[in-house]
Chain A
Amino acid sequence: DTGVSQDPRHKITKRGQNVTFRCDPISEHNRLYWYRQTLGQGPEFLTYFQNEAQLEKSRLLSDRFSAERPKGSFSTLEIQRTEQGDSAMYLCASSFDTTYEQYFGPGTRLTVT
């Protein structure tokens, strides 16, 4: 297994545009997490999935954000009507279950101009 992968690695978009990121977790992992990391800060939890069910969303996840995990495999995170404050590194992590180690992907760096 090659680990958690994310695509794209970098995205530059203009304010007001929609963007979508993809995360492919480690294949046998049931849990998938999304985090956001801004410059000089640690990652902050956004949302997580147990298989295909989205079980928790952070207050950081405004109505412009939506995440899916169809069939419990890959996940997508969409940001609608992007704002400059959305510029950040978006990290995906997966784990076998709640108490198991989370493996992180390389992240997608979003820049909103």
Chain B
Amino acid sequence: GDSVTQMEGPVTLSEEAFLTINCTYTATGYPSLFWYVQYPGEGLQLLLKATKADDKGSNKGFEATYRKETTSFHLEKGSVQVSDSAVYFCALSDYGGSQGNLIFGKGTKLSVKP
């Protein structure tokens, strides 16, 4: 079945450092890919998404490119801030094959130190 694998955390960075969180997926169809973020004490929020190969999703300085050849959707940010400290989840949804439910990775906790 479909699945998502993302890098284990926690990841600790200094403010203004470059961030990469790796995410790879397995899917039989042509999924849409997502990054969700969960700030401490809050619910999951959609950070960005990409619906087809070579699409780049971006939001709040974060970017991820849908790479079909490597089945990857790595999250990047050029300069992290303390306020980016959160848990990040990579997810996919195979709209064509299922009913739109999301399949999540295990999450990567990011801590940014001032």
Contacts and interface: CB of A to CB of B under 8 A. Distances in A.
B102 A41 contact: no
Interface string B41-81: 01111100100000000000000000000000000000000
Contacts, number: 57
A98 B4 CA distance: 20
A101 B106 contact: no
A4 B46 CA distance: 14
Interface in A38-94: 40-45, 48, 50, 55-56, 91, 93
B95 interface: yes
A36 to B, nearest CB: 11
A102 interface: yes
B46 A107 contact: no
A103 B103 CA distance: 15
B100 A42 contact: no
A82 B49 CA distance: 36
B11 to A, nearest CB: 15
Interface of B: 4, 32, 36, 42-46, 49, 89, 91, 95, 98-107
Interface of A: 4, 31, 33, 35, 40-45, 48, 50, 55-56, 91, 93, 95, 98-99, 101-107
28 contacts: A33-B101, A40-B106, A42-B4, A42-B91, A42-B105, A43-B102, A43-B104, A44-B104, A45-B101, A45-B102, A45-B103, A48-B100, A48-B101, A55-B99, A56-B101, A93-B44, A95-B100, A98-B95, A98-B99, A98-B100, A99-B95, A99-B100, A101-B46, A103-B46, A104-B36, A104-B45, A106-B42, A106-B43
